[in-house]
Structure 1
Amino acid sequence: MESKHYNVFVIGSGVAGQTAAKVCSKNGLKVAIADKQAFGGTCALRGCDPKKVILQFGDIIKKTEALKGLGIKKVPKIDWQDILKFKDSFVKEIPKGTEEQLSELGIDLYHQSPKFINKNEISVEGKTISADNFVIATGLTPRKLHFKGASYLKTSGDFFTLKKLPKSATFIGAGYIAMEFSFLLSTLGCKVTIIDRGAQPLSQFDDFLVKKLTDKMKENGVKFYFDSEIESIEKLKKNFRVHFNKNGKEYSIKSRVVFNTSGRVPATELLNLEKANIKYDDSGIIVNNFLQNETNSNVFACGDISSKSLPLTPLSGLQGYIVGNNILNKNSKEFSNPLVPSVVFTHPNLASVGLSEKEANKRYKNIKIYQDDASDFYNAKKSNESTYAYKIIINKRTDVIVGAHLLSTEANECINIMMMAIDKKMTVSQFKKLIFTYPSYTSDLKNMMKNID
């Protein structure tokens, strides 16, 4: 078997892996990178970017539906094939472009998932390869479900290759992906069902706003079953029948397609980590503040696979940069999670940053909460939007803003303003002195923090 040596071998070609590889190569190290899928990573090819291209058409429909009869005579019709072609225009050149960029830097490319042989060697494409350092950046993969008929399940990646809109769809799991795709499909006329073992969707978001979003999606035709366990999936002639149990009672739902949206887990299965003494668990590769593995100091991890990360592309890039520099300069940079906003791109958007109400109550002796329905605000009325709400959390002793949770058509942008306010430890009085464009959803943020004493 042919053997080869590199200074750095990177596993995974998403933003994290690419960034680490480029930093090392540009500084004179001999670098290789491997991926079993097309080069470019989940976000660019099968995740965030193509998802946002497609979801915007659902937003257009909802906005025009709200204004029908108020100036809009007819809601536009959507051509699914044209949407997919438009989405493909963002995606199709990425693998080739990524490979060209990496090759131009002198980085060797491998198109297979490596397997560790020992602490210093891997096997890939029939070669035994040693390296001074390995960087694992394999990201997350859909969680496997184990019940009869689970092989019939589609994943979120399959959504982007649907040749036509299904007449009906069932989602198992009520996280980001299920809520976003359900919003889109139900808006485009698909009969949608979401089944989840929990008591509500989006468990990491604020209950007050999640309920409002769930109610809005029910109005849009989405049917929810909570506290439910899947028992099996049965293949019919054209459809699939999902059998599940809710409170001891048996139910079944029939639909054209069934998606596994039960979450994603670290993609470690193919790597043979045990042979390299690489410590890992359900959170990913266990790393210290230098993003270095605790049990094999030759191994670093960055991006979603790191135990110190969140599934967000900007954070992956930051971690890749830190790993690259720590390989070059012997752990010169420590990683600490920055304040990161999260968004569910439904209609309306659900966004969050900082502390939840529960977290704030644990951290501070007294908190102040600004919470209300804002559907009577001017911006909601002008767009005829019925769902607009907020919860903003304050440390009562200092008047400093510590958490913000928004539900609106512009929450994905407004949450960035609240992120900066929290990051800079602004007080309510300081925030209210800021001047924003008017009338804008940003200007509404000051109105949300009205006196409640």
Structure 2
Amino acid sequence: MSCDYDLAIIGTGVAASTVATKVRAAGQSVVAIDSRPFGGTCALRGCDPKKLLLAGADAVDHAQRATAKGVRAEPVLDWPTLQSARRRFTNEMQESMEELYESHGIKGFHGRARFTGTNSLAIGDTKISAEHILIAAGAEPVSLDMPGAEHLTTSDEFLELDRLPQRIVLVGGGYVAAEFSHIAACGGAEVTILQRGERLLKNFDPDLVGWLAGKFERLGIEVETGTEVRSIETNDNELVVTARRGDRTIRRAADLVVHAAGRVPALEDLNLAAGGVDVRGGRLVLNEFLQSASNPSVYAAGDAAQMGPPLTPVSSQDGHVVAANLLEGNHRSPDYRGTPSVAFTLPPIAAVGFSEAEARNLDLAFTVNSDLASDWFTARQADEPVYGYKVLVEDETRRILGAHLVGPRVDEVINLFALAIRAQMTADQLKQMPFAYPTTASDIPSMLS
């Protein structure tokens, strides 16, 4: 059958733009469809705008810690000015992404796409067909089934706030809750986290999360774990959150309640059944080539595929894999080994490779090097007592199996451990590296002793 396009892409984020530009550069016709401004979650509603807000919070936090270094002015976070800087960035990013697609000769549609057949889509009243279709629609907040759920503010909306409310409750305990709580607390808000699980940041080492808990306390953030939110009600000009922890009922009054309880692939509105695209447990059924197991014309990448962790580097790799398979036939599968993960708290916490629990479950023989290193120069120079590490080294090969860090600038240092894991470097080889001193990276040999 003759199709309108060689490739139709649902979404315009990191994975989508990678595939679009590569396939178009190979001479194929490409159309990109997005119901929101072009650019995707990371650039417009996630990583980048969050880091811009975090920069202001980090400056306030650092100044408050630096009184022993002679800093005397009381730092204040001017939220409207900070938001103006964030808005300038996202507006410019939207424009540049539109220009990127246009400059490559990629047709763009603004609207919500839905399948009408195995090789066809509808965007409003417009119908198109394509030889291949890529689902790269990202993720959306998981639906919370409780009274008053409509009063929840999404992470997207939090990043757009013109004014920072005085009292904020975050429902959930992952990346969003941890990062946003630190931003809000440094902005002067009273912050409470209500987490159903028994600890925050379950994707990170529990010992390091325990060390980081001290920073939540110093920022004045109230953390209630093992707590299930039951309802959100309005009371005059405030919201009242009711939660349950064991036999205890917890009620918190708030000006804002933020949904931080996780995200799922944004598949609900795509009418996948009409496209013959199988879904199981809310996830696309894909083969090792990121291709639909039921419709070979369809591929997926990034958060919509959910084959790897929900991280930007994973979306980028997925994009390269799909582009290669589209252009050269199925031959490439994603390799997520050594993909680092960071929660940009103050200070950040980072991980790469196996956790200690995963390594033990695999019956690997390894040595754990771990310490809360508050007395090391890195911690003292930054006036930040939360600084520690846990590094797993395989006994027989001396290869690094996993690295877990918390403290100043570990969001950069974790990349060196990621490189070592992907390159299968040994701990002894990494210890021989002549790192610039004094830097956080120069602590790596001591972490391997």
* TM-score range relative to shorter protein: over 0.9
**Residues 358-369 of structure 1 correspond to what in structure 2 (within 5 A)?**
358-369=357-368
More deviation in 220-229 or 258-267? 220-229
Structure 1 residue 195, shift from structure 2 partner: 0.4
* Alpha-carbon displacement from aligned partner over 1:122-181 (angstroms, at most 9, x marks no partner): 221202222111111001111111111100000111112211111110000010011001
Matched, 1:411 2:410: yes
1:216 is matched with 215
- Report the residue type matching 1:98 in the other structure: M
**Counterpart of 1:317 in 2: which secondary structure?**
helix
**Counterpart of 1:230 in 2: which secondary structure?**
strand
**Residues 282-361 of structure 1 correspond to what in structure 2 (within 5 A)?**
282=281, 284-361=283-360
1:401 is matched with 400
The answer (yes or no) to whether the contact 1:283–1:307 under 8 Å persists in 2 is no
- Report the residue type matching 2:376 in the other structure: F
Q: 1:441 to 1:280 in 2, by over 3 A?
A: same
* Alpha-carbon displacement from aligned partner over 1:236-265 (angstroms, at most 9, x marks no partner): 222100011110222210011000000110
Matched, 1:168 2:167: yes
Matched, 1:110 2:106: no
Q: Quick one: distance in 2 between partners of 1:236 and 1:90? A: 37
The answer (yes or no) to whether the contact 1:290–1:333 under 8 Å persists in 2 is yes
1:89 is matched with 88
1:236 is matched with 235
Structure 1 residue 298, shift from structure 2 partner: 0.4
- Provide the aligned C-alpha RMSD in A: 1.6
Matched, 1:373 2:372: yes
- Report the residue type matching 2:407 in the other structure: S
Q: Quick one: distance in 2 between partners of 1:101 and 1:438? A: 41
Q: Quick one: distance in 2 between partners of 1:332 and 1:101? A: 28
Percent of aligned pairs with the same amino acid: 35
The answer (yes or no) to whether the contact 1:8–1:32 under 8 Å persists in 2 is yes
Q: Quick one: distance in 1 between partners of 2:23 and 2:425? A: 38
2:42 is matched with 43
Q: Quick one: distance in 1 between partners of 2:52 and 2:306? A: 30
More deviation in 289-298 or 274-283? 274-283
**Counterpart of 1:123 in 2: which secondary structure?**
strand
Q: Normalising by the residue count of structure 2, what TM-score does the alignment of the two structures yield?
A: 0.96
Structure 1 residue 283, shift from structure 2 partner: 6.4
Q: Displaced runs of 4+ in structure 1, greater than 4 A?
A: none
**Counterpart of 2:270 in 1: which secondary structure?**
coil
- Report the residue type matching 1:380 in the other structure: A
Q: Quick one: distance in 2 between partners of 1:373 and 1:327? A: 48
* Alpha-carbon displacement from aligned partner over 1:56-102 (angstroms, at most 9, x marks no partner): 11111121111114311123222111111111221102223222221
**Residues 427-438 of structure 1 correspond to what in structure 2 (within 5 A)?**
427-438=426-437
Total equivalences in the alignment = 448
2:136 is matched with 137
**Counterpart of 2:269 in 1: which secondary structure?**
coil
Q: Quick one: distance in 1 between partners of 2:244 and 2:300? A: 40
Structure 1 residue 266, shift from structure 2 partner: 0.2
Q: Quick one: distance in 2 between partners of 1:82 and 1:292? A: 45
Q: Quick one: distance in 2 between partners of 1:350 and 1:140? A: 23
* Alpha-carbon displacement from aligned partner over 1:175-222 (angstroms, at most 9, x marks no partner): 001100101111222110000110001111101000111222022111
Structure 1 residue 4, shift from structure 2 partner: 7.1
Q: Quick one: distance in 2 between partners of 1:365 and 1:26? A: 45
Q: 1:365 to 1:352 in 2, by over 3 A?
A: closer
Q: Quick one: distance in 1 between partners of 2:282 and 2:411? A: 27
**Counterpart of 1:64 in 2: which secondary structure?**
helix
Structure 1 residue 13, shift from structure 2 partner: 0.8
Structure 1 residue 361, shift from structure 2 partner: 1.3
The answer (yes or no) to whether the contact 1:394–1:401 under 8 Å persists in 2 is yes
The answer (yes or no) to whether the contact 2:57–2:77 under 8 Å persists in 1 is no
More deviation in 92-101 or 242-251? 92-101
- Report the residue type matching 2:254 in the other structure: S
The answer (yes or no) to whether the contact 1:265–1:282 under 8 Å persists in 2 is no
* Alpha-carbon displacement from aligned partner over 1:271-330 (angstroms, at most 9, x marks no partner): 011121212234632222221111100001111111423222232122222222322222
1:79 is matched with 78
Gaps of 5+ in 1: none
Structure 1 residue 42, shift from structure 2 partner: 0.5
**Counterpart of 1:68 in 2: which secondary structure?**
helix
**Counterpart of 1:437 in 2: which secondary structure?**
coil
Structure 1 residue 397, shift from structure 2 partner: 2.2
Q: Quick one: distance in 2 between partners of 1:133 and 1:224? A: 47
1:201 is matched with 200
Q: 1:222 to 1:282 in 2, by over 3 A?
A: farther
**Counterpart of 1:117 in 2: which secondary structure?**
strand
Q: Quick one: distance in 2 between partners of 1:61 and 1:140? A: 32
Q: Quick one: distance in 2 between partners of 1:123 and 1:365? A: 51
The answer (yes or no) to whether the contact 1:349–1:411 under 8 Å persists in 2 is yes
Q: 1:329 to 1:69 in 2, by over 3 A?
A: closer
The answer (yes or no) to whether the contact 1:4–1:127 under 8 Å persists in 2 is no
Q: Quick one: distance in 1 between partners of 2:186 and 2:157? A: 19
The answer (yes or no) to whether the contact 1:134–1:300 under 8 Å persists in 2 is yes
Q: 1:15 to 1:223 in 2, by over 3 A?
A: same
**Counterpart of 1:147 in 2: which secondary structure?**
coil
Structure 1 residue 368, shift from structure 2 partner: 0.7
The answer (yes or no) to whether the contact 1:308–1:337 under 8 Å persists in 2 is no
Structure 1 residue 268, shift from structure 2 partner: 0.1
Q: Quick one: distance in 2 between partners of 1:185 and 1:366? A: 43
Q: 1:22 to 1:60 in 2, by over 3 A?
A: same
